[in-house]
Amino acid sequence: MAAQRNSGGRRRSGKPTIADVAALAGVSVSAVSKVVNDRPGISPPTRQRVLDAAEKLRWSPSATAVALRGARTRAIGMVAGRSADVLAADPHFSVLISGIEAELAPADYGLLLHIVGEEPDAEERAYRRLAEERRVDGVILTESRIGDTRFELLRQLGLPAVLVGTPWQPDPIVSVRAGGDDLDQGAGLRAAVDHLVELGHRRIAYVSGPEDRVHTVARRRLFEAALDARGLRPTRIVISEFTADAAVRALRRLLAEPERRPTAVLFANDTMAVAGMSAARRLGFEVPRDLSVIGYDDLPVGSLVYPRLTTVSQDLVQLGRAAATAMFRLLGEAAGTAGEPGADGSGADGPGADGPPAVRPPTLVVRESTGPAAG
């Protein structure tokens, strides 16, 4: 006489429940639960009967019910404070996401995305809602900004967080980056500078992005350091934006005075570099004959244009995977601490914990936009 409530007439939209499975297998509801959660106390024959019943009914536990019971959503949140056109211009974000997903999907975790406008409070509201409504187990952040308040906010909200990149100031937040703590984040830019110097360039300029972003500043500094290591100083550093117009303006400034004119320019990312190449050509300069250009990120657009872009490549997919892995570790630790206080602690296998998430350092990819220094 078990489960006569739901097994008789399928009530709503046809989705079977655990009770249906139990009835079909001729066992109790809890037996089914134990089977699907690999808990001991069920004999092999019974287990098989339950498995068959579940298969037959195409049943799997309702994510919402599990979440309610266990306080675990099996979803990771991500908030992007960017407008549609910025997002369209720079695929950085989508690539990162597909890396994250590559890790999340096999673990049966979902990615809850929120794309909000660029207004800062919209972003904060999004995080607040994510936390208050308990829709996700944690969030992954990107693009740490100077004076970023999100880490503090998330701590206050009690929401586990992983940052892709470097925090703007020392902060206990878990973070991942290409060429992590042990590896070398400056390797790519050093190789880029070396490459240029070997080609005979001495006057090298740098076009930076909006400097409220940490990685923008960091890249510029790494560039300066790389130049310094070769005994050089930057000819010029220009702060610009991600638009084509801004790139033209930046380049015009850079190329204005013939005697101080750089023979090579590095850009903060590939989008700007592509825009820069076009701007140069528009101003009558041939790349790489009159000007060598180097980008950063190694996005596909770089090899779509002519000449193909020499750029610093970082493995964004891998970076996304590392972020997801770090998140799993964070959640796994939390669960281990709360759920099994007496666990021995050694070999703690959280979901997806298989070694530290190391991402290879940035490397230089030489293509066609760099050549011997002119004159």
Among 68, 107, 256, 343, binds its own copies (CB under 8 A): 68
Among the residue ranges 5-13, 193-201, 254-262, 277-285, the one whose residues contact DNA (CB under 7 A): 5-13
Give the C-alpha separation, 375 to 371, whole Å. 12
Q: Across-strand partners of 135? A: none
Give the C-alpha separation, 250 to 209, whole Å. 11
Phi, psi dihedral angles at 145 (to 5 degrees): -105, 160
Pairing of strands 310-313, 363-365: antiparallel
Give the C-alpha separation, 165 to 275, whole Å. 25
Among 8, 9, 14, 41, binds DNA (CB under 7 A): 41
Among 63, 153, 183, 218, binds its own copies (CB under 8 A): 63
Q: Which two tokens stand for residue 174?
A: 């878990």
Give the C-alpha separation, 247 to 273, whole Å. 8
DSSP string, 203-237: -EEEEE--TTBHHHHHHHHHHHHHHHHTT---SEE
Does 62 bind DNA (CB under 7 A)? Our answer is yes
Residue 18 binds which entry of DNA, its own copies, none, CB below 5-8 Å type-dependent: DNA
Amino acid at 260: R
CA distances in angstroms from 297 to 273, 313, 323, listed in the order given = 10, 5, 17
Give the x-and-dash track for 149-188 against its own copies (CB under 8 A). Answer: ---------x------------------------------
CB of 160 to DNA, least distance (A): 17
Among 60, 174, 239, 336, binds its own copies (CB under 8 A): 60
Question: Which residues sit at the interface with DNA, rule CB under 7 A?
Answer: 2, 5-6, 11-12, 15, 17-19, 27-34, 36-37, 39, 41-43, 45-47, 59, 61-62, 65-66, 68-71
List residues binding its own copies (CB under 8 A): 12-15, 58-65, 67-68, 71, 73, 75, 82-85, 87-89, 91, 93-95, 97-99, 101-102, 105, 108, 110-116, 126, 129, 132-135, 158, 244, 247, 271, 274-275, 277-279, 281-282, 299-301, 303-306, 308, 316-317
